[in-house]
Structure 1
């Protein structure tokens, strides 16, 4: 979870927000051809490789490989408690960083990512851009937070694990603004795969 002033374009949000308009978080859209989590918006990251010292080293390596960022400009603030994911049986250790010296980022491997972008935190906190996503599979239903991130071609939908982490961090920091928890955001057509598949 890499935060910082990632470019010179502040949030276009009108009105007061609990954070500076230029605070961003780095996200990417996974390629639609991937086996798992295809098309979803995510943080840069991945598995710990044998050569990685720990989760922090893995996070910085993966971010470099996926976005081209220079890890020398990142101050690692720490890790959050590991989060078990029942669906994929992964145990994820979120690493939080501050991008002290932003470097250029973009898609490095189109087989892995379709976009790399910054999301203004003030926009993510905007109640008009928040809602609930609903995933239905095999008779089960999963409901979680969702965020609409403005984009030149419409909007990216942040949902699932990434949205859950952002929502938890925002709550813990006291940044969350009241939002309509009955408003459903459709998963289809907003950078997400068909939830019924």
Structure 2
């Protein structure tokens, strides 16, 4: 389908992004209008999907919230409801964005390339049976690295109002680690410290139309 881009003003961080023409065309995010007239994160734009009149295709510069340096151990989960394909469309371009933004932020290309070449998780797959935490030893951290869109906490879910959406480099297996029925809590963990932080791209989730 021909995509209709919703033009919004750029965020202060988005203004600073140095994007190629290809990145400008492909780094798109879909937001949906809720009953209050606010736009909420839905998914990365996929040209194979026909979107409704309540969906808005928005350039990355309009929702980019900068980079978060996380210096403590974190638990995080996938977003439910974006797509049945655990690999976001155009994932290589999203990794390009992360690389460019992190090089600008850190000034160390060699480290950034190493960082983005690895899954930031502790390589384990967690889930809960009632309140008991269990590690699924049948799952293995492998596959291509993608820019996975995640939320903090141990509960994969659709985005709640006010939540922050993060973009982290994780493997394709971890990116598909959630129960589509939303019954079983499946989540991931990552180890971080001041000496070994995790860097995440921040995407604004919830805002009012202009």
- TM-score, length-normalised on structure 1? 0.31
Which has the higher relative contact order, 1 or 2, with Cα contacts under 8 A spaced 6 or more apart?
A: 2
- TM-score, length-normalised on structure 2? 0.30
